[in-house]
Structure 1
Amino acid sequence: MQTQHSKTQYSSAWIMLLALLTSLGPLSIDMYLPALPQMAHDFGVSTQMIANTLPAYFLGLAIGQLIYGPVSDRIGRKLPLYFGLCLYTAASLLCLMVQDEWSLIAARVLQALGGCVGVVIARAAIRDRLDMHASAQAFSSMMIVMGIAPIIAPAVGSLILEFFSWHAVFAALSMMGVVCLFCVHFFFQESLPASKRLKLSFHQVVLLYITIFKDASFRWPMMIGCFSGGLLFCYISSSAAVLMDSYGLTQQQFAYAFGTNAFGIMLFSTFNKHLIAKTAVMQRLKMGAYIQLLGVCILLAGGLMAHAPLAMVMAGMFLTVSGIGFTGPNAMALAMSQQGARAGTASAVMGSMQFACGLLGGLVLNFMLWSPLLNMAWVMLIFMAIVLLAIYQTKMTVNMAAK
């Protein structure tokens, strides 16, 4: 009876801790966004050039997760957290000491290599303890809690900028790393017992990655989560150029606009959580995809106009970003449902591919020659087409498994 209980129940405190670890990503990405124009001025480059520190961070996230996943399956969840958080804290301090944009890009890669440990371990820990339906609820709860991070991060960043230079933002992130280390040491309990750990060599890790990719029950939901999340990263990479450069929003106004869209993720995650008992996972996936598609179409229409109303652009951004509250947790729950002891490696694959999509979107945006809004909308539309294809393939896989 106790085993079954552990597979269906979780505490709010446990979710709060996992959300804190996962929030390092949103905080590291979003807190310094209001400072991009100031940083560009200090380094004597364009805002878009400094915005390349975002895909640099995505690169570190993509690589780091592929390392932490199998390592955590082999040695447990807690030790990798210690290493990653120490690296994150040191790299955050390095970011505030750099003298040029290329050094900042390199430091951001290191920062991401450390910070990504939280999201890998959080996903794996949920799979260690919960079944698929409880996991979907837990992921929704975690998204609601961690949704606070992107809401407050730009506002905190802009508040810091009122009194200090952009260097203080990275000092604050370093302090956040210390806080996470403290919480892990005193409150995080190992979720993968020694008896269930995988004894993997490098060759076996490669084979395990190949096996996971071949698993259709993982591959297609993973693609849904990656490319629907890729829309968020396209938005993050372009939001400063669209809202501050094109529409003239101040740092504080940008923070409010960004926080509104982040609140949308929390709102839709709450709706998703309440619908779990009434609707199937595939229904909620489709719902989120259609919401995101509507938002992308609005942004594309705005990008094709000479100067779209700001309200129209904000509405499109809100729907595109908020829809992740449906697609994200349900795609994650489906992808992780059959992974068992290899949950850490599977979590790493999904996270790595998600941020690889963010890296891809950020790089493509650099080579597109239209306005920032239209560039963003076209990349989002391509990603959305892949999401819809993956949903169709996921439905086919689920139906075949049911037979």
Structure 2
Amino acid sequence: MKDKSKTQRFLILLFLGLLTAISPFSIDMYLPAFGDMAGDLNTSVEKIQLSLTSYFIGVAIGQMIYGPLLDKFGRKKPLIAGLVIYIAASLFCAVTNSADYLILFRLIQALGGCCGMVASRAMVRDYYDAKESAKIFSLLMLVVGISPILAPSVGAFVLNHFEWHIIFIILTLIGLIILLGTLFILPESYQGNASLSLKPADVSKNFWSVLKNPDFLKYCLIGSFASSGLYAYLAGSSFVMQEYFGLSASQYGTAFAFISSALIIATQINRFLLNRWSSAQISLVANYVQVAVSLGMLIATLSGYITLPLIIGCIFFYLCCQGFIFPNTSALALAPFRELAGSASALLGCIQMALGAFTSALVSYFHNNTAIPMVGVMFFATCSGLIVYISLGKNRKQA
């Protein structure tokens, strides 16, 4: 990156941020509409929640497709194809009148939109070393943190003035803007390796070479379990905040925005902490704190002492820990790779989203008109991450 001008560096960071924002907006903007969508489509909130799960599944599958394509053809061509799919699927989501079709179109929307996640992570690896990558991932997490603040608020505003279909029209326009920027502004960071084979056996071999790397496996699992707790919160928050605690759509948007600000605060503090401590040290401490916070929240919920301010405060600190874990474990997981950065990024994202789909489905499956399913799954997720830390041994000295 040193040989690029300040304008080029700014544009690269800008579009990395926009690409990173696709999925948060696609996930968070329609959360306040779950109740309205269930009524309009003559189904239950639990059925609408499955459209969130199908999105996670689509992201998990799609990333495995884009990874090898990004390594072979460079970053931009697969990215453009994915954005076109995303735009088309968003339009279909806007006009559907069936919950089943909504679940299907959300799956396709994710298959297209996930290209931004894979490409942005691979581009960070293209330009930066491990320690600098952690700082850049912290900046991208700033976008991820801002998106949930803006997206539900936009969704709540739309519901107050229009029908829920307009939310997906807005997502279509966002996808179109990012597509145009990718076509005409975003520079290519890697020309690709034409010699790489896309035969299933060769692709599987490349994925296996990534997966068997001990550093990748360890930090991928740690970060993925932490992320799965976040997705459990996303799946259950609409019911818990609006139905269980009685918040309106706009009040839910405000609460959601406050909680999401935790990601902004933590990721930016993380950039400064990296000047003194390693990524491995920071993420380990954050994991311990996250377990403690989620345990306290679970005990309060099971004992019946949970209140709206208490659960909001606990989830806020839970996401603070996520803001320290995600950028550091992502940088450490991708650090060993160069030519297979796309495949490594895809595998990282696939595992994250697969666990996210699993935990969001658990929240829906155990739905019992209380906050217990959401809180319990969040505790399970963060404990699993700490178990990985402990079971795979002490950290070596890392960047």
Question: Normalization by structure 2: what TM-score?
Answer: 0.95
The reply to whether residue 55 of structure 1 matches residue 64 of structure 2 is no
Q: Percent identity?
A: 33
Contact 1:89–1:174 at 8 Å: present in 2 too? Answer: yes
C-alpha contact (below 8 Å) 2:75/2:192 kept by paired residues: no
How far apart are the structure 2 equivalents of 1:86 and 1:342?
25
Q: Could you tell me which of 203, 214, 217 is aligned with 1:216?
A: 214
Residue in structure 2 matched with residue 367 of structure 1 by the alignment: 365
Deviation at 1:211, TM superposition (A): 1.6
The alpha carbon displacement at 1:36 in A equals 0.5
Q: Give the whole-Å Cα distance in 1 for the aligned partners of 2:207 and 2:370.
A: 36
Give the ranges of 4+ consecutive aligned residues of structure 1 lying more than 4 Å apart after TM superposition.
3-6, 194-197
Give the stretch that moved more between structures: 207-216 or 249-258. 207-216
In structure 2, give the amino acid aligned to 1:27. Answer: F
- Residues 1:391 and 1:40: Cα distance change in structure 2 (over 3 Å): same
Q: 2:167: which partner in 1?
A: 169
Provide the residue aligned with 2:103 in structure 1. Answer: 105
Please tell me the residue identity of whatever aligns with 2:18. Answer: L
Q: Match for residue 120 of structure 1?
A: 118
Q: CA deviation at 1:69?
A: 0.5
Who is 1:237 aligned against?
235
**5+ residue gaps in structure 2?**
none
Displacement after TM superposition at 1:395 (Å): 5.3
The partner residue of 2:322 within 302, 321, 324 is 324
Please say which of residues 373-382 and 211-220 is displaced more in the overlay: 373-382
Aligned to 2:96, what secondary structure does the other structure show?
coil
- Secondary structure, aligned partner of 1:338: coil
Map of 2:279 onto structure 1 = 281
1:390 partnered with 2:377: no
**What amino acid sits opposite 1:239 in the alignment?**
S
Shift of 1:35: 0.5
The 3-state SS of whatever aligns with 1:248 is coil
Change (3 A) 1:227 1:89: same
How far apart, in 2, do the equivalents of 1:194 and 1:44 lie? 48
Q: How does 1:342-361 map to 2 (within 5 A)?
A: 342-361=340-359
**Which residue of structure 1 aligns with residue 297 of structure 2?**
299
Distance 1:197 1:346, change over 3 A: farther
Instruction: Report the alpha carbon displacement of residue 44 of structure 1 after superposing the two structures with TM.
Output: 2.0
**Equivalent pair of 1:238/1:372 in contact (CA under 8 Å):** no
Residue 202 (str. 1) matches residue 163 (str. 2)? no
Q: Return the letter of the residue paired with 1:229.
A: S
* Structure 1: gaps (5+ residues): none
* Distance apart, 1:204 and its partner CA: 0.8
**Displacement of 1:287 after TM fit?**
2.6
The one-character-per-residue Cα deviations of 1:245-268 (angstroms, maximum 9, x if unpaired) are: 100000010001111111110100
Q: What is the match of residue 80 of structure 2? A: 82
The CA distance in 2 between the partners of 1:238 and 1:276, in whole Å, is: 33
Q: Secondary structure at the match of 1:178?
A: helix
The answer to whether the 8 Å contact 2:232/2:377 transfers is: yes
| 8 Å contact from structure 2 (residues 298, 372) kept in 1 | yes
Amino acid in structure 2 at the alignment position of 1:187: I
RMSD: 2.0
Deviations 1:66-114 (A, max 9, x none): 0001111011100011111010000000001112111100010000000
Q: Is the 8 A contact 1:76 1:197 kept in 2?
A: no
Q: Which amino acid aligns with 2:119?
A: I
Q: In 2 relative to 1, CA 289–205 (structure 1 residues): closer, same or farther, beyond 3 Å?
A: same
CA apart distance, 1:202: 2.2
The residue type paired with residue 266 of structure 2 is: F
Whole-angstrom CA distance in 2 between matches of 1:21 and 1:179? 11
Deviation, structure 1 residue 321 = 1.8
Q: Distance in 2 between matches of 1:22 and 1:30?
A: 13
Whichever residue aligns with residue 122 of structure 1, its letter is: S
- Secondary structure at the aligned position of 2:163 is classed as coil
Mark the CA change 1:369 to 1:173 in structure 2 (over 3 Å): closer, same or farther: closer
- State the distance in 2 between where 1:218 and 1:225 align: 11
Seen in structure 2, the aligned counterparts of structure 1 residues 324 and 196 have a Cα distance that, compared at 3 Å, is farther
Deviation at 1:376, TM superposition (A): 1.4
Shift of 1:199: 4.1
Q: Distance in 2 between matches of 1:347 and 1:35?
A: 32
Inter-partner Cα distance in structure 2 for 1:337 and 1:395: 19
Q: Distance in 2 between matches of 1:210 and 1:30?
A: 33
Output the TM-score relative to the length of structure 1.
Answer: 0.94
Give per-residue Cα distances to partners, 1:164-199, cap 9 Å, x unaligned.
100000000000010000110111111113468744
* Alpha-carbon distance in structure 2 between the residues aligned to 1:376 and 1:322: 18
Q: Which residue of 2 aligns with 1:31?
A: 29
Change (3 A) 1:79 1:282: same
Partners in 2 of 1:266 and 1:36 — Cα distance? 26
1:18: which partner in 2? 16
Shift of 1:39: 0.5
